[in-house]
Structure 1
Amino acid sequence: MAIRRGPINALVLGLAALVGLVGCSSSGGVSASSSQMAATALTAGTVFDSSQVHQIGVEVNQDDVTAMLADYLSTGDKEWLTATVAIDGTEFDNVGIKLKGNSSLKGISADAAPQDLPWRIKLDKYTDGANLDGFTDFTVRANSTATSLNEAVALDLLRSSGLASEDAVESSFSVNGSDSQLRLVVQNLDEQWVTENFPDAGSDSVLYKAEADGNWNWLGADGDYSGSFDIEAGPDDYAPLIRLLNLVNNGTSDELAAQLPDLLDLNSFATYLAFEELINNSDDIDGPGNNSYLFWDSSTQKFRIVAWDHNLAFGQTPNGGRGDGGRPGGNMPSGMPSDMQGGNVPSGMPTDMPSGAQGGGQGGGPQGGAAPSGMPTDMPSGAQPSGGGQGGGMPGGGMGGNNPLVTAFEANSDWAALKDQAASDLQSGLIDSGTLTSSLDTWVSVVTSSGLVDESTITSEADAIRAYAS
């Protein structure tokens, strides 16, 4: 069956209009480059057409899944499995799938339901050239809400801010014939993503991923940094990263002022920091999940921080809405403490915080609550708050508010002023302009069309986001 085609996403047109109004800005303010807008427009009518709910069914040997989970809990290794995957009626055999995430996997058990887990699906892992509409690599995200509206809207706003973002769609997702769940599917960051988002970058540019259990410590010029930073695209070259870590860990304020502008796109980073505060996301580069990618552009010889993992955007908390949340048979699995079912606050967590604020971000949104130190940030449905092995318990890494790059940047009054200006630009361009509301309305329409989430849940979760527009 041929893949179903949908109408051009209305949000694409809205974003194009926004770009026409504000133009492209070299200051890192609210704008989108022509290359980023082109990448968005190309998704219309494809597997990443966000105007429709896509159908994704996975068939995988359950014994293999159980053995893989047991091995992950014992060793922390994420093994690739072979599966058959059908996407919008197009079937692919011999597809590679594996667990995706770090803090999202804390506390899973060996008998976790596969349809509840976060997955990476790579069509061409074992079959060269396998792709759908040119896309090969997909991430099935975990989220604390039933709708994933918070992450979907955050990614739209991220692109509207002029920063690199990821394509995302809502999907009706099932494994081995399970009941379908509404899951957000996000484009994985790889060589293809780099080409789409940084078409003018040098051929030997590098995309690093900061690992959730890693840190930004200085290990020496000959240290092994692979445990904290994984190379996702480009040559196996840690030299640019080592220079950056040396400077932010060991440089004096004068050295930082003189050298950091030559290593980091300051305007882009100011926009990134202001953006994460605006959407009240505590799980960013400076948060417990250490969530970020670092793109080293060999043509400019500068880093740009790439945002990743927005399932706690708009003040969401781990497991905040994954209880009965409108999913078919949506009760928490056996063994989950009753005070975490239905999104209730776990025992010991403050209860006097505004609705939707527990575990909120850095004060950038209306709630402004702070997540407890060490709290996992994106546990999937089926996860337990504690457990054995590598996958059990709370995250062992993450910055928790002590990222040396952020600290150095915010300590410089000139750079702090860039962030303040970016915050003002984002407020005007994303909130006051109605861009947030437009994005939210578009996604609400898509989620409602799925029939997989109760309308009352959709309304409740949308209203929590809509509050930020005021």
Structure 2
Amino acid sequence: MPAHTLSRRSFGAALLGVAGLAVAGGCSTGSAGSPGAAAAGEGLFDDGVVHDIGLAFERADYDAMIDAYLNDQDKSWIEATATIDGSTFERVGLRLKGNSSLRGLTRSGSTASTGEQGGGGPGGSVSAENPQDLPWLVRLDKFVEGQEFGGYTEFVVRSNNSESALNEAVALELLGLAGLATQGSVSTRLSVNGGGAVLRLIVENPGDKWDADRFGSAGILYKAESGGDYSYRGDDAGSYDGVFDQETDTDNPNLAPLAAFLKFINESDDAAFSAELGKHLDVPAFATYLAFQELVKNSDDIDGPGNNSYLRYTTGKDQFTVVAWDHNLAFGGMGGGNRGGGGPGQAPGGQAPKGQVASGQAAKTRGGGPGGRSNILVTRFTANETFKASYEKALTDLRASLYASGKAAEVLRVRAAVLTAGAGDLVSADTVAGESDAIKAFFTA
């Protein structure tokens, strides 16, 4: 693991009169804040430091965006000014990002019309009165072509049940060590419209740059939407509206490979599924994916309530890979409120004590067990003795390579040290230690 330089960055004057920033289009580089802060462009996803991000927008635009979501679940874009590690960007695109994390969105006592009861989904309950706590998608080039920071044009501000978000940060780093496509993540001090800073985790958004960096070959990335499933709905692309979204090469929509894959996993007989799945899917990677989700106790995965996954089609192989997404409930993090504090019987940060499952979280065992399975690909994969055996071997191998080896403990130690050194004013050392201990308990469970 590369050595990390631990430093704390002051956000101080980063907004410099948020309502009056006047750099027309493009980007201006200003002071990076306190001594020891890295120069702008050193790396948005350098996880050895706590980064500074400030967002500023017109309240009327924000209110209209919230109304659109509360009324119709529409996630509309607004323009904002973003200051990232001292560099200022005008006309940045900003919209809500998430599904379960927004189910409890309220404003002045109103609850989002999601069909859910109030109180929030697995991501917690959030209020429009606290925009610094909301899940966001930030696109630097949404309204200004070519606008970027160190090669990146977009990132996601994540929700988490814990105060430190260590559970997701550690899970994402371990995902990469498991040999699977992951998203970079960094801790940030986020401020909105000049308000007080809060600690938030930002992650890469799977898109064209991410896809090229991770796969390096021609293909198409599809995102499974929370309201959909993996059923075959015919060959008409319109049948998959709200079910799957094409996330890369969007100027050339093509759902034909996706429809063919869904037809196979739904309509092939058991013999064909067993014999031919490897032609359609990277089977070893999928076995590792399932084993990893079990290892980090993330039930909000491909067959969880949020349908959280991407499908990556590799053109040259005519084959799909399941890509992991959304690990804010890793290490038993189901339950509690949006910004920390677990429910009864939970360890700090909403984590479950060793040997227990967090409140509201049903235990899930691959191949059928409490909690069951809902995704057709997972159901058929784990019902097949050969594929199930590959999953069980992957689980054993990952437990040895990530947990028994001490790699997971070292990843956790380093990420916690960054917070202790760089965000002590936002999260106490005791909280970081307590949430670290809760995560660490899973390494030997």
Same fold (TM over 0.5): yes
Letter in 2 for 1:468: F
For 2:52, what is the secondary structure of its paired residue?
strand
Tell me, yes or no, if structure 1 residue 211 matches structure 2 residue 225.
yes
Q: 2:60 aligns with which of 63, 69, 78?
A: 63
1:159-238 map, 5 Å: 159-199=176-216, 201-202=217-218, 205-222=219-236, 224-234=239-249, 235-238=252-255
1:71-101 deviations in whole A, cap 9, x for unaligned? Answer: 1110111110000000000000111110011
Letter in 2 for 1:450: A
With the length of structure 2 as denominator, give the TM-score of the two structures: 0.80
Structure-2 separation of matches of 1:276 and 1:344: 23
Tell me, yes or no, if structure 1 residue 131 matches structure 2 residue 105.
no
Tell me, yes or no, if structure 1 residue 317 matches structure 2 residue 334.
yes
1:445-456 map, 5 Å: 445-448=417-420, 449-451=422-424, 452-456=426-430
Structure-2 separation of matches of 1:294 and 1:184: 24
Q: 1:9 aligns with which of 4, 11, 20?
A: 4
**Deviation of 1:318 (Å):** 3.5
Structure-2 separation of matches of 1:195 and 1:246: 27
Structure-1 separation of matches of 2:275 and 2:342: 48
The residue aligned with 1:468 is 442
| Bigger RCO (CA 8 Å, 6+ sep) | 1
Root-mean-square deviation (Å): 2.4
Letter in 1 for 2:66: L
Letter in 2 for 1:9: H
Letter in 2 for 1:84: T
Give yes or no for contact 1:119–1:139 (8 Å, CA) kept in 2: yes
The residue aligned with 1:96 is 93
Show structure 2 runs of 5+ residues with no match: 7-40, 108-127, 363-370
Tell me, yes or no, if structure 1 residue 367 matches structure 2 residue 384.
no
Letter in 2 for 1:222: D
For 2:175, what is the secondary structure of its paired residue?
helix
For 1:192, what is the secondary structure of its paired residue?
helix
With the length of structure 1 as denominator, give the TM-score of the two structures: 0.76
Q: 1:85 aligns with which of 82, 86, 96?
A: 82
Show structure 1 runs of 5+ residues with no match: 1-6, 12-43, 326-341, 346-350, 374-398
Distance of aligned partners of 1:360 and 1:211 in 2 relative to their CA distance in 1, 3 Å threshold = farther
Tell me, yes or no, if structure 1 residue 421 matches structure 2 residue 416.
no
How many correspondences in the alignment? 377
1:6-32 deviations in whole A, cap 9, x for unaligned? Answer: x95389xxxxxxxxxxxxxxxxxxxxx
Tell me, yes or no, if structure 1 residue 283 matches structure 2 residue 300.
yes
Letter in 2 for 1:208: Y
Tell me, yes or no, if structure 1 residue 411 matches structure 2 residue 386.
no
The residue aligned with 2:35 is none
Structure-1 separation of matches of 2:309 and 2:81: 31
For 1:343, what is the secondary structure of its paired residue?
coil
Give yes or no for contact 1:53–1:450 (8 Å, CA) kept in 2: yes
Structure-1 separation of matches of 2:3 and 2:150: 15
Give yes or no for contact 2:335–2:350 (8 Å, CA) kept in 1: no
**Deviation of 1:112 (Å):** 3.1
Structure-2 separation of matches of 1:179 and 1:214: 38
1:364-413 deviations in whole A, cap 9, x for unaligned? Answer: x843457458xxxxxxxxxxxxxxxxxxxxxxxxx973100001111111
Structure-2 separation of matches of 1:464 and 1:191: 36
Give yes or no for contact 2:229–2:307 (8 Å, CA) kept in 1: yes
Letter in 2 for 1:122: R
Structure-2 separation of matches of 1:70 and 1:321: 21
**Deviation of 1:320 (Å):** 5.0
Give yes or no for contact 2:161–2:350 (8 Å, CA) kept in 1: no
